[in-house]
Amino acid sequence: MYFCTSKYFSKKMMQNILGEAVKKGLKEIYNATIESVEFQATKKDFEGDITIVVFALLRVVKGNPVEIGTKLGTYLKENVEQIADFNVVKGFLNLVISDFYFLENFNTIYSTKNFGFIPANPNEKAVMVEYSSPNTNKPLHLGHIRNNLLGYSVAKIIEASGKKVYKTQIINDRGIHICKSMLAWQRFGNGETPENTGLKGDKLVGNYYVKFDQEYKAEIAQLIKNGKTEEEAKNEAPILLEAKEMLLKWEAGDKSVVELWKTMNQWVYAGFDETYKELGVDFDKNYYESNTYLLGKDIVSEGLKNGIFYKKEDGSVWIDLTDEGLDEKIVLRADGTAVYMTQDIGTAIERFKDYDLDELVYTVGNEQDYHFKVLFLILDKLGFSWAKHCYHLSYGMVDLPSGKMKSREGTVVDADDLMEEMTKTAKAISQELGKLEGYSEKEKAILYKTIGLGALKYYILKVDPKKRILFNPEESVDFAGNTGPFIQYTYARIQSILRKATFDYTQEISELKLHEKERSIIKQLELFPETIQLAAKNHSPALVANYTYDLVKEYNSFYQTIPILGCEHEQEKILRIQISEKVAEVLKSAFYLLGIQVPKRM
- pLDDT tens-place string over residues 185-213: 999 999 999 999 999 999 999 999 999 99
Quick check: 590 and 583 in contact, CB under 8 A? no
- The reported pLDDT for the residue numbered 413 is 83
Rounded to an integer, the average pLDDT of 145-159 is 98
Quick check: 416 and 278 in contact, CB under 8 A? yes
Domain boundary among 45, 63, 97: 97
Number of helices followed by number of strands (H, E) in the chain? 22, 14
d(CA 229, CA 321): 36
Which stretches of 153-302 are assigned E, i.e. beta strand?
165-171, 285-288
Our count of domains for the chain comes to 3
Residue 1 pLDDT greater than 70, yes or no = no
Residue 220 lies in a domain: yes
- Quickly state the pLDDT bin for 446 (edges 50, 70, 90): very high
- pLDDT tens-place string over residues 212-228: 999 999 999 999 999 99
Give the residues across from 39 on adjacent strands.
52
- The reported pLDDT for the residue numbered 271 is 97
Quick check: 145 and 532 in contact, CB under 8 A? no
- pLDDT tens-place string over residues 17-59: 999 999 999 999 999 999 999 999 899 889 999 999 999 999 9
Rounded to an integer, the average pLDDT of 360-388 is 97
Rounded to an integer, the average pLDDT of 436-450 is 89
pTM of the full structure? 0.91
- The reported pLDDT for the residue numbered 4 is 44
- In this structure, are 434 and 551 located in the same domain? yes
Domain boundary among 70, 97, 124: 97
- Quickly state the pLDDT bin for 486 (edges 50, 70, 90): very high
- pLDDT tens-place string over residues 59-96: 999 999 999 999 999 999 999 999 999 999 999 999 99
- pLDDT tens-place string over residues 233-256: 999 999 999 999 999 999 999 999
Quick check: 372 and 360 in contact, CB under 8 A? no
- Quickly state the pLDDT bin for 435 (edges 50, 70, 90): low
- Quickly state the pLDDT bin for 479 (edges 50, 70, 90): confident
- pLDDT tens-place string over residues 544-567: 999 999 999 999 999 999 999 998
Q: What percent of the chain has pLDDT over 90?
A: 85
Domain boundary among 39, 64, 97: 97
Residue 333 lies in a domain: no
- The reported pLDDT for the residue numbered 8 is 58
Residue 369 lies in a domain: no
Residue 238 lies in a domain: yes
Query: What are φ and ψ of residue 576, in 5° steps?
Result: -70, -30
d(CA 587, CA 544): 10
- Quickly state the pLDDT bin for 338 (edges 50, 70, 90): confident
The enclosing domain of 70 has a CATH number of: 3.30.1360.70
- The single-letter code of the amino acid at 461 is L
- The reported pLDDT for the residue numbered 9 is 61
Residue 406 pLDDT greater than 80, yes or no = no
The enclosing domain of 454 has a CATH number of: 1.10.730.10
- The reported pLDDT for the residue numbered 473 is 83
Quick check: 127 and 161 in contact, CB under 8 A? no
Residue 82 lies in a domain: yes
Q: Which domain holds residue 265?
A: 175-287
- In this structure, are 476 and 567 located in the same domain? yes
- The reported pLDDT for the residue numbered 405 is 42
